[in-house]
Amino acid sequence: MENLLKLCLFLLCLETTLSVQCVLCPTYKNGECVDGNQTCTTKPGETCMIRRIWSSYESYQLLSAELTCTDVCNFDETFYKGLTTHTYCCDSEDFCNDINLPIVMA
């Protein structure tokens, strides 16, 4: 029984060390998070994600962003009808998806 308890504690510690804190902001507009600053903690198989959308017509002004924990994230950069969308995924450190960090190209 003691060994089972030790195993459970080890697995709990391992899961905790593999998770990271991410910025959670479903809607970022006009320089701020619409619902206020929040955080989320990744679960196994998840990463932090930030998706930024710029207008190419307005000197690449940031129009909106989405910051979250997700299990479906692909590095991506698309250009469509004057909009640039850049998606970045990370799990290297806490808050690696902060809006103030430099953009990392995949």
71 domain-assigned: yes
For residue 7, give its domain range: 2-90
Quick one: average pLDDT of 74-99? Answer: 95
The whole-number pLDDT of residue 6 equals: 53
Q: Give the number of domains in the chain.
A: 1
98 domain-assigned: no
Quick one: average pLDDT of 62-74? Answer: 95
Predicted confidence (pLDDT) per residue in 2-17, tens digit: 665 555 455 544 444 5
Predicted confidence (pLDDT) per residue in 17-66, tens digit: 589 999 999 999 999 999 898 999 999 999 999 999 999 887 778 999 99
Question: DSSP per residue over 65-81, as a string?
Answer: EEEEEES----EEEEET
Q: How many other β-carbons are positioned within 10 Å of the β-carbon of residue 104?
A: 12
